A and B are shown apart, each in its own frame.
Chain A
Amino acid sequence: MELLDRYLESVRKHLPWQRQDDIVAELRANLESQLEEKEETLGRPLTQAEAEEWIKQLGAPIQVAAGYQPQQYLIGPSLFPTYRYVLKLACSWAMIIGSIVLVVQVFASQNPSASALFGALLSLPSVLITAAAWVTLIFAAIEYAVAQGHLKLPAMCAPSPGWTPSSLPPLGQNVAHGKKPRSLAQAIAEVVFGILFLGWLLLVPQHPWLLMGPGALYLNASPFQLADIWVPIYWCIVALNILQLGWNMQNLVRGTWQKPHPVFNLVLKAVGLIPAILLINAPNHAAFLLKHPAIDHARYGAALDTINLYILRSFQVIIALVVLQLAWDLWQLGRDAYRKREAAIV
């Protein structure tokens, strides 16, 4: 039957080349026996329509041929748990080491700036992708070698070879903290100390010694003065404290002090970056200025530049660390939300 020949030829194209003839010969023998029996039952050859219907029932050539392909995984079920564990480790370490290297590179450059730092942070995903690609490639090679019989599955990939119950890690701090609500006394103390802190903060402009102690006298006598950028920074800090105090008070009034709201804490941490960002973007990166530049520049100009540079770099490092911590908190928040949603579905 020509249709059967065409069908088998199509199947052949998708078969492993070493076994094409053998498989097609067997399929042909089985299908011809089936056809013969059909025709004996009908007492006549199949019509074109009947033949097409029969061939169609056998399945698409590519699907039939796929059944003869060896089962192959990029990373199979035996290796996958180890692969996932190593992938997590590699990505975590790549993130940590990559962040450190990037921060060092930025500060070692000629002109470190906030935009250079953020640009460097944006290149972190490529570090993670590279680490993940290498781990995947190595595990795919192990899987292939094991499947081909060139390699026995490494002992570390066996299901937990050295596992004992006593070797289980202790409960994490997150679990313990997550179950322990904040006490009322703690919530009241936060509000009281918040009010006291705000009062102290508001008094600082008139009484700088409250902040700097004897340093206020030194600053007064020194040729240096605070740059104008400290005014918006100061009011920004005041606004942040009022925001936090207001939030703590409403938690106390509404009786919701037991569980701090994770999103608010995250927002507060993010907004807390504003004063530092204002400072590093100050005109000429100047946190301090000379009181009488025309007189003192020759003598104190170099010292002033050094002080301003150190302040700039310190705050750049602080911003980088807070951004990393924010990213980590955000990831944890997303993970917890996902877990809650999954638990609700189950």
Chain B
Amino acid sequence: MTIAENLFENLRLELRRGCLTLAVLAQLRVERYGYTLRKALADDGLVIDESTLYPLLRRLEAQGLLASEWREEEKRNKRFYRLTPDGERIFAQLLGEWKAINASVTATLNSTTNAANNGAL
């Protein structure tokens, strides 16, 4: 991997990190276990490695944003996760923040693109 590729990869991971948490919290407004959560995220275009997603669930649970429960489903014990009341509140705040950032970045991109186009003309 070249230095530029390595730099891009680091920045990409940094950019994704916060978004992943938001996406996981969004999905867990509905109760899911690890594998179905991973599938749901992948179906929405967000592919996450098992080695990233499953430890993330544990961390969010330790932070009090998720609650989990072992339950049998289709003859197999599975650990189901869902948002806690605290998780719901923080998710709402994070969502507001993300929308604001998204709007700002979009506005910045539009204005700089227009400025660049005008400069080119």
Q: A58-B50, A59-B50 are in contact. List 18 more A-B contacts (CB 8 A).
A: A25-B77, A26-B34, A26-B79, A27-B50, A27-B54, A29-B33, A29-B76, A30-B34, A31-B35, A33-B33, A33-B36, A33-B76, A34-B35, A58-B51, A59-B51, A63-B51, A67-B51, A67-B52
Whether A29 pairs with B58 at a CB distance below 8 angstroms is no
Residues on A with C-beta less than 8 A from B78 are: 26, 29-30, 33
Question: Any chain B CB within 8 A of the CB of A64?
Answer: yes
Residues in B lying within 8 Å of A, measured CB to CB: 33-36, 38, 49-52, 54-55, 58, 76-79
Contact A67/B55 with A29-B34, A30-B35, A31-B50 known, Cβ cut-off 8 Å:
yes
- Chain A 11-43, CB-CB to B under 8 Å as 1, else 0, gives 000000000000101110111111000000000
Residues on A with C-beta less than 8 A from B58 are: 23, 68
Whether A64 pairs with B50 at a CB distance below 8 angstroms is yes
Residues on A with C-beta less than 8 A from B54 are: 26-27, 30, 67-68
Q: List 20 A-B contacts (CB under 8 A).
A: A25-B77, A26-B54, A26-B79, A27-B50, A29-B76, A29-B77, A29-B78, A30-B33, A30-B35, A32-B76, A33-B33, A33-B35, A58-B50, A59-B51, A64-B50, A64-B51, A67-B52, A67-B54, A68-B55, A68-B58
- Chain A 311-337, CB-CB to B under 8 Å as 1, else 0, gives 000000000000000000000000000
B42 to chain A minimum Cβ distance, whole angstroms, is 11
Residues on B with C-beta less than 8 A from A30 are: 33-35, 38, 50, 54, 78
B102 to chain A minimum Cβ distance, whole angstroms, is 26
User: Once bound together, how far apart are the Cα atoms of A33 and B36, in whole Å?
Assistant: 9
User: Once bound together, how far apart are the Cα atoms of A25 and B71, in whole Å?
Assistant: 12
B17 to chain A minimum Cβ distance, whole angstroms, is 12
Residues on A with C-beta less than 8 A from B49 are: 59
Query: Could you tell me how many residues of chain A have their Cβ less than 8 Å away from some Cβ of chain B?
Result: 16
User: Once bound together, how far apart are the Cα atoms of A172 and B54, in whole Å?
Assistant: 53
Residues in A lying within 8 Å of B, measured CB to CB: 23, 25-27, 29-34, 58-59, 63-64, 67-68
Residues on A with C-beta less than 8 A from B50 are: 27, 30-31, 58-59, 64
Q: Which of B35, B52, B76, B79 has the most CB of A within 10 A?
A: B35
B38, B51, B52, B79: the one within 8 Å of A29 (CB): B79
Residues on B with C-beta less than 8 A from A34 are: 35
Of chain B, the residue at the smallest CB distance from A27 is B54
B64 to chain A minimum Cβ distance, whole angstroms, is 14
Of chain A, the residue at the smallest CB distance from B37 is A30
Of chain B, the residue at the smallest CB distance from A69 is B55
B72 to chain A minimum Cβ distance, whole angstroms, is 10
User: Once bound together, how far apart are the Cα atoms of A58 and B34, in whole Å?
Assistant: 14
User: Once bound together, how far apart are the Cα atoms of A270 and B11, in whole Å?
Assistant: 48
Residues on A with C-beta less than 8 A from B76 are: 29, 32-33
B71 to chain A minimum Cβ distance, whole angstroms, is 10
A21 to chain B minimum Cβ distance, whole angstroms, is 12
A19 to chain B minimum Cβ distance, whole angstroms, is 8
Residues on A with C-beta less than 8 A from B55 are: 67-68
User: Once bound together, how far apart are the Cα atoms of A59 and B36, in whole Å?
Assistant: 19
A188 to chain B minimum Cβ distance, whole angstroms, is 52
User: Once bound together, how far apart are the Cα atoms of A68 and B51, in whole Å?
Assistant: 9
A20 to chain B minimum Cβ distance, whole angstroms, is 13
